[in-house]
Copies of this chain bind each other. A is one copy, B any other.
Amino acid sequence: MRDDDCVSTSPASRGRIGRPPVTTRAQILAAARRIIDRDGWEKLTVRRLAAELGIGGTTLYHHVRDREDLLIQLLNEHAKRTLSVELPAEPRDRIVAAAVAIHDSLAAWPWAAEVLTSDGFLGRLGEPAVSMVEAIVAGAVECGCTVEQGVDIFRNIWYYTAGEILVRAHSGQRRADRPRVAVGDTFFRGVDLSRLPRLAAIGDRWPTLAARDIYAQGLRAFVNGLLDQARSAAR
């Protein structure tokens, strides 16, 4: 994907025809960052961004296809700054490290859960993220998988990762007025323990792992299971 593919109608800057643009994509992203840094990320709306740029709200839609499109551009910019890891040499560890890196970068991104639901999300990811995807598939191949199996493994890892990001994003305290149960764990918040005897039996002995480590540990179990399954399917 080229850099300006997300923009709906913008041609290349060279050899333009028609009215010259007052607004460039770099300016838009810079203005968005300014709003986020100054007023907080919840304040980033289409109208406010247009106002920050000094243009009409409608005009923005000639540089950005969507609100979603804008967010994905911001995400790619964010990934460029945060998504860089030394990947281990051992393939199984490398798979885990790459997936955790993707996860951590997304987890630190305010709109992750929102943007995760966008159409063709994987295809719109920018450079560092795509290399991580490739690293996962390649790692699976080095573990003895076929490429098809490697792709399948990535797909499953991606489901798991997306789900964790999704649940994590919304296990925060968005609405303060909902009934919740004090179990020391936000995941099961609001669950009526009287109908879940097994859950109730835990009492306060909830896992002390941080959410990120729960993810990483589950991921490792998943990778092991997937590689085992691929190996036994090969026979």
Contact = CB atoms under 8 A, between A and B. Distances in A.
A214 to B, nearest CB: 7
Interface stretch (A25-33, A48-56, A87-95, A219-227): A219-227
A64 B178 CA distance: 14
List the number of copies, as a whole number.
2
Contacts of A113: 117
A106 B150 CA distance: 27
Contacts of A220: 225, 229
A130 B196 contact: yes
A222 B199 CA distance: 21
Contact of A198 (B134, B170, B179, B223): B134
Interface string A187-210: 111111001111101100111000
A170 B162 CA distance: 12
6 contacts: A123-B191, A147-B201, A152-B218, A162-B163, A163-B164, A224-B228
